[in-house]
Amino acid sequence: MREVNCSSSSQLTDAFPVCVASSAVMGLSFGLGFFGNAAVLWVLVRRSKENSFTLGLMLSLAVSDLLTLLPLPLWIWAILHDWTFGSVLCKSISYVEYWCIYCSTLCVSLMSFQRYMQVLHPEKWAKLGDRGQKGLLAGIWILSGVLASYAPVQREVGCELYGFQYCYQQFRNDAEKIVTLVLEMLQFVICFFLLAYFYCRLHRGVNESPFFSSNRMTKLVTRIVLAFFMFYVAVPIVNVMIIVAVSLQNESLLERFELAGKMARALTFLNSCVNPFLYTFSFRGLQVSSLSTVDT
């Protein structure tokens, strides 16, 4: 990261239009997603006595999405007025947010596997038992915490590349930056592959069964895969561009692509808004149409 003098206001920088656009997207995400996930969380907590793995998975998804959205007002303020909350809060919020984002994507991936096994291979899924299912839920949170461990190490408060004080991701060298970007791309590729694979297999199996509504399943599969792809696909594309700019040592391209990265990451918060509607309400309708499936 090159040395720059912090300007008195981020409005003086060329990055200001992107900052306004990304903060607007985050504001929309917070306004819609906070209340949506809070409502879903309230409904799921009231039904927690049912001891259902599906409900437990949705509960984890709602909690992780809610915790992802909670710090957005701080990020919006920091984007428009500089980061004034100190280094400890910078590192803490960054870790919790990365932790919850990883948890959310893992929950979505596990949900596709769970639906596939539960609907098409219920006997095998039943062998997992209550203890095994609780272990899977706990494993998601533990694995997410491990995957997010790099976030507080790389986060620092200082003069950003665009001339204002911010809680930014600082890399010691280009190699560390490239490795981090590649790992983030792998997360998207693996999660999207699992989503597409298990839901396509599920759709094919359901389509061949007279006990399920293939039309409802087709709509659900399409919405889930398209939503995840639409809100996350910009991140790996921009990461590739940043890697190219770093490899070419082109500072002008790097600045442009990193600005694009800010916008791409802001769009991922919209996924936390649609999750309550896609998963909770869609799966409720799916369960009504598949009464022969036993949820344990």
> pTM score, two decimals?
0.83
Structural domain tally of the chain? 1
2 found inside a domain: no
Residue 220 has what pLDDT? 64
The C-alpha atoms of residue 176 and residue 169 are separated, in whole angstroms, by 11
Query: How confident is the model over 90-131, as pLDDT tens digits?
Result: 999 999 999 999 998 898 888 888 888 887 888 888 888 888
Candidates 208, 198, 60, 190; CA nearest to 134 is 60
166 found inside a domain: yes
292 found inside a domain: no
The C-alpha atoms of residue 209 and residue 228 are separated, in whole angstroms, by 27
237 found inside a domain: yes
What would the two tokens of residue 251 be?
Answer: 């500072």
What DSSP character marks residue 128? T
Residue 131 has what pLDDT? 86
The C-alpha atoms of residue 231 and residue 229 are separated, in whole angstroms, by 6
Q: Any idea which of 77-91, 135-149, 150-164, 223-237 has the lowest mean pLDDT?
A: 150-164
User: Does the pLDDT of residue 224 top 90, yes or no?
Assistant: no
The C-alpha atoms of residue 67 and residue 199 are separated, in whole angstroms, by 27
The C-alpha atoms of residue 69 and residue 248 are separated, in whole angstroms, by 35
94 found inside a domain: yes
The C-alpha atoms of residue 40 and residue 60 are separated, in whole angstroms, by 11
Q: Which of the two residues, 227 and 14, has the higher pLDDT score? A: 227
4 found inside a domain: no
- Residues spanned by the domain of 272: 10-287
Residue 19 has what pLDDT? 78
The CATH number for 259's domain is 1.20.1070.10
38 found inside a domain: yes
222 found inside a domain: yes
What would the two tokens of residue 182 be?
Answer: 């590649």
156, exposed or middle or buried, with CB in 10 Å at 0-12, 13-18, 19+? middle
What would the two tokens of residue 44 be?
Answer: 């799921």
